[in-house]
Copies of this chain bind each other. A is one copy, B any other.
Amino acid sequence: MGQQKLRNMEEFAAVSGISRPTLSKYFNDPDSVRRSTRQRIEAALTKYDYRPNVYAVNQNRRRTRNIGVVVPNLADPFFSEIGREVELACIAAGYSPILLSSHGKPSQERANLDSLRALKPAGVLLAAFGKASDRDAIERFNEDVPVVAFDANIEGACEAFVGTDNFQSVDLIVEYLCRSGAPPCFFEMKTPSNPNANKRRQAYLEAMERHGHAPHIHQVPGEGWDFEEVGMTEGGRLISSGAFETNTVLCSNDRLAIGMLSAAYGLGVKVGHGADCTMRIAGQDDHPFSRYTCPPLTTIAQDYAAIANQAASTLFRILDTETRLAEREETLFEGKLVMRASA
């Protein structure tokens, strides 16, 4: 058993009988030393419990092994899940993820990039706000530290983007809704900052045209991040005023749908595809709570894990080669239809 705490690598070198430069090599990359030495070091490690000083290490390395992960709002389970997936991918690759939430405020997104700059991360995985983001700040940041965007595309900015194919997934659910009942109206917030929202509206228009139906888009006021609240109040208003042209509503995202379902319930409107139901509501994202709504929400599932892993591995590729991508890459994953009771 190792006793007194070892204060530095020097002392660990003394007790382990291995020179400090060799130890330094080992901690930077265990495979860079001969197997026999590696074993001796690891044996000593179990015996003496020494760990290099993080701050001293990072001061001297040209690049740290930190990776910044920035998401718009950790209070949204969608982002906490995808953030988690990204974290896991970083850890698996031997990096230390630093997860930062922008708490729904674009100004915080800038602040987060600023904080990250001080931490000299090797790279950054960024789920940005979109229009509300400070595009210049992101581009400037990307000049110093490679940034891979995920979930929200910042056209042209960042080294790469990984997200969901909104056109494919909207088409998928529109087709399902048309086939199984009335063609859907589209429900969204008037000024969506998220770029996916705009893609989805566009995709809805195209899909409806393709299927030969007239599109009906309902945009409601509402700022900020309280989607459920907007879905409930504004969605409820639309329902009770009979504003929807058909009995089917496709919401721009699940959180709006969750609020709208709550409103429908309060209004005594039965939602679902059963004979006794008067309207259908569908969402997009497969939010973690969507399976527990009343009724459970039919939606399009994004492939969280695939997006997270692809974004991470793209960044690792940049870091490993130490060269920026020859050209910007975009990877889109397909959404999957999740049929539940609401539509």
Contacts and interface: CB of A to CB of B under 8 A. Distances in A.
Contact of A55 (B58, B294, B296, B341): B58
Interface string A72-89: 001101001101100000
A293 B292 CA distance: 9
A296 B75 contact: no
Contacts of A291: 228, 262
A306 interface: no
B51 A292 contact: no
Interface in A220-255: 228, 232
Nearest to A77: B75
Interface in A44-74: 51, 53-56, 58-59, 64, 74
Nearest to A57: B55
A103 B58 CA distance: 27
A228 B55 contact: no
Most interface-central of A54, A84, A266 (chain B CB within 10 A):
A54
Task: State how many copies of this chain the complex holds.
Answer: 2
Given A56-B59, A58-B55, A77-B77, A261 B294 contact: yes
Nearest to A74: B80
A261 B261 CA distance: 14
A238 B35 CA distance: 59
A259 interface: yes
Interface residues of A, number: 38
A262 B118 contact: no
Contacts of A81: 75
A130 interface: no
A140 B194 CA distance: 45
Contacts of A74: 74, 80, 83-84
A80 B84 contact: no
A54 B57 CA distance: 12
A342 to B, nearest CB: 11
Interface in A273-295: 288-289, 291-295
A292 B259 contact: yes
A119 interface: yes
A4 to B, nearest CB: 15
17 contacts: A54-B119, A55-B56, A59-B59, A74-B84, A75-B80, A75-B288, A77-B77, A80-B80, A80-B101, A84-B103, A99-B99, A262-B292, A262-B293, A262-B294, A266-B295, A266-B341, A294-B294
A75 B79 CA distance: 9
A61 to B, nearest CB: 9
Given A75-B77, A75-B81, A118-B54, A292 B59 contact: no
A307 to B, nearest CB: 17
B289 A265 contact: no
